[in-house]
Amino acid sequence: MPPPIIRSNYDVVVQVRIRSDGANENLSAATIKASLVNADKSAELIADTVQSSDATGAAWASGLVVVEFSLAQTSALVPGSAFIELAITNGGKRTPTNSIPVTIEKGWTVS
């Protein structure tokens, strides 16, 4: 499956399933932050953004997180490869960062 596409100047919605030892992770009590970093992970393109268990399509109890970035956050993105990085704190324990590869494409602009 190709990586999800993020378009500049658009709201971003990406579904991510978090699994541990082959089972969906229960994230009901978790705090999840998502950021976007460049392909070599040397620069942050979108700063940590707290994600919501109330996002449309999210089911944190069964490990389904919907990552959302706003149009304002994507406005300066340039085409290329990047990673969504998830920082998850669940039950007082922070899990290693989960990285999801994405492709950034130029979105439409109106002038």
68 belongs to a structural domain: yes
Q: Say if CB 91 and CB 29 are below 8 A apart.
A: yes
111 belongs to a structural domain: no
**Hey, how many other C-beta atoms are within 10 angstroms of the C-beta on 79?**
13
CATH number of domain containing 30: 2.60.40.1930
pLDDT per residue over 17-66, tens digit each?
999 889 999 999 999 999 999 999 999 999 999 999 999 999 999 999 99
DSSP category for residue 43 = S
- Average pLDDT in the 85-89 region? 94
User: 92 pLDDT exceeds 90?
Assistant: no
Per-residue model confidence (pLDDT) at position 111: 64
Domain enclosing residue 72, as ranges = 5-105
Is residue 71 left, alpha or beta, with left meaning phi > 0 and alpha meaning psi from -120 to 50?
Answer: alpha
